[in-house]
Structure 1
């Protein structure tokens, strides 16, 4: 076994989820990630915890959703019960075919997301970690050789997370002292939002591994302006490109995409909350220096900002503000490396991807 797999497993168990004796742990992964699951289970056993493993191969869900053809689903109570009895949830991504679910109707996917919402909410209340195993399908989607992608993944997840957290804390402190954010990029992105009373989180490789962003929630009805998400995303096995969104009073009132706009139709029609922003994130992981069509990595890249329509993370929302509720959480990215500015209360804190606290600002 590649020693980097064992190092990855140790980071997940000891840093990201802090597994302790007596914990009930669920590990979900496709078969291609068996080496990482094996290493994780070994560490869980050494720490005196208990483990259940489940398969998350997207072929299974594709088969189920296509066969069901339902407009509405019921929440799978047996999975909810498993999560309720668990202390730690570890979810491993590893693609053998990134477009596996491309022929599932977006409306069916939206219906499933609505039914799954209570499970999603329960999962977020646990010690959870989402991470990536460098499978060949993931490498192919990124346009990289298997070896190059392995190096890319392990370099990103094996950072000195204490040092990275110190670097990011500088931006966290600036945002926690601010009320309004304005983001401009090129001629097509100019958006403002209030973050007054909300909390900015320092993502240091715990819930997401790799980490490397700072994120918060906008005040729900405060988002105004237009955003051109110039980097693509994969959603439901489809590439969505050239997304343009207009916000008024916090709500998406107009949108378009150059490719696969129908997937956005399904997202925005999922529920009322899917038309509001739940997250504003700023990428700060300089080890992630290549776009890979994998949001777990792409949203952490330096020189980027991402915004997620749908559910807000409750820990980012102040007591006096409303938590946006939705079955969706869809991140989309703006490249901030050129002709781009982030302002906090009218003061420039990032210009063309460089932060005010960096030497070459």
Structure 2
């Protein structure tokens, strides 16, 4: 087995979920990631914790092929909360979820209506998983390499270069951005003549993603005040959702809500996201990518949202840890990240001060006022 897989498992167990003896941990990985599952079970055994395995994701409906078969046959009106799966996560102390694929397009013929109904039915399951010590991670499966247009070996190197880092060093570097954003009141994102959006982050909490909930990590993120978002955004990187590629997604916000939208490709998928529930028309996250070992777009949001020189905004659910006391939380069933390239003709402004220009932060060499 590749030594990097063992190192990956060690980081998950020791740092990301800080697993302790006798704790209950759910491991959710498909068969293509069996090597990572084996390495994780070794590390869990060393700790003396109690693992249980799901085949894929945190929604308990098996492999991609099994999930497709179910979702193509089920009536969306029959989808209800799965109490047995909810109970599993309610009794778990930690959860590790990986989403590599054997076929990245397996669910491309599942309707957006069913996908949205499924997300709504499993909302409490997601909430229960997020109440644990959780880690979302990846394994370099050949299908994901193919989607990224890379050889399997090159993709493995890319994945592990992004994940097997000195996360203490990353934490210290990113903390400089946390110190700027956490006490702030307003953020403005400008990119060319297609994106100019402002939002309040007053009383919200900024988190330093440095090898805990996500592997790879490498972002600083918070939640906007739900009704504060104003302006227009062109997401110039594709959105890969439910095995479909949305190109050129454009959103217009007024009083925090999407009031107009379009896309160059698969606009109906974007519409399906927005129609999931009221919260899906509002932002739940503003994230700033800072992992420069992620230097190319791979159609995997776990990596793409961390790319240096990008920001991402998520329609839907806000992570509870980013929502300040007394502030409304966006509790949508959806959380869909979308990316803006900030490498050229772009800037981030915090309380009237430009803190990043063309991808370079004010605390880095090469920053231009």
SS of the aligned residue for 1:42 comes to helix
Q: Does residue 40 of the first structure (1) align with residue 40 of the second (2)?
A: yes
SS of the aligned residue for 2:122 comes to helix
Aligned counterpart in structure 2 of residue 313 of structure 1, from 301, 313, 319: 319
SS of the aligned residue for 1:120 comes to helix
Q: CA RMSD in A?
A: 0.7
1:323 CA displacement: 0.6
Separation in structure 1 between the aligned mates of residue 165 and residue 365 of structure 2, nearest angstrom: 21
1:177 CA displacement: 2.3
1:129 equivalent in structure 2: 135
Gaps of 5+ in 2: 57-62
User: Is contact 2:280-2:315 (8 Å) kept?
Assistant: yes
1:72 CA displacement: 4.8
Aligned counterpart in structure 1 of residue 244 of structure 2, from 232, 238, 241: 238
Separation in structure 1 between the aligned mates of residue 23 and residue 236 of structure 2, nearest angstrom: 43
Aligned counterpart in structure 1 of residue 117 of structure 2, from 77, 97, 111: 111
2:203 equivalent in structure 1: 197
Separation in structure 2 between the aligned mates of residue 263 and residue 9 of structure 1, nearest angstrom: 35
2:297 equivalent in structure 1: 291
Aligned counterpart in structure 2 of residue 258 of structure 1, from 264, 272, 275: 264
SS of the aligned residue for 2:77 comes to coil
1:93 equivalent in structure 2: 99
Separation in structure 1 between the aligned mates of residue 84 and residue 327 of structure 2, nearest angstrom: 33
1:20 equivalent in structure 2: 20
Separation in structure 1 between the aligned mates of residue 169 and residue 36 of structure 2, nearest angstrom: 25
1:69 CA displacement: 3.0
Q: Does residue 9 of the first structure (1) align with residue 9 of the second (2)?
A: yes
1:63 equivalent in structure 2: 69
2:157 equivalent in structure 1: 151
SS of the aligned residue for 1:208 comes to coil
SS of the aligned residue for 1:278 comes to strand
Gaps of 5+ in 1: none
2:83 equivalent in structure 1: 77
How many pairs were matched up?
A: 361
Separation in structure 1 between the aligned mates of residue 297 and residue 275 of structure 2, nearest angstrom: 28
SS of the aligned residue for 1:89 comes to strand
2:60 equivalent in structure 1: none
2:51 equivalent in structure 1: 51
Separation in structure 1 between the aligned mates of residue 38 and residue 248 of structure 2, nearest angstrom: 40
SS of the aligned residue for 1:71 comes to helix
1:71 CA displacement: 3.3
Q: TM-score, normalised by structure 2?
A: 0.97
User: Is contact 2:76-2:113 (8 Å) kept?
Assistant: no
Q: TM-score, normalised by structure 1?
A: 0.99
1:248 equivalent in structure 2: 254
Separation in structure 1 between the aligned mates of residue 271 and residue 205 of structure 2, nearest angstrom: 30
User: Is contact 1:95-1:138 (8 Å) kept?
Assistant: yes
1:70 CA displacement: 2.1
Deviations 1:125-169 (A, max 9, x none): 100011000000000000100000000001111010000011100
Separation in structure 1 between the aligned mates of residue 86 and residue 331 of structure 2, nearest angstrom: 18
Separation in structure 2 between the aligned mates of residue 225 and residue 345 of structure 1, nearest angstrom: 16
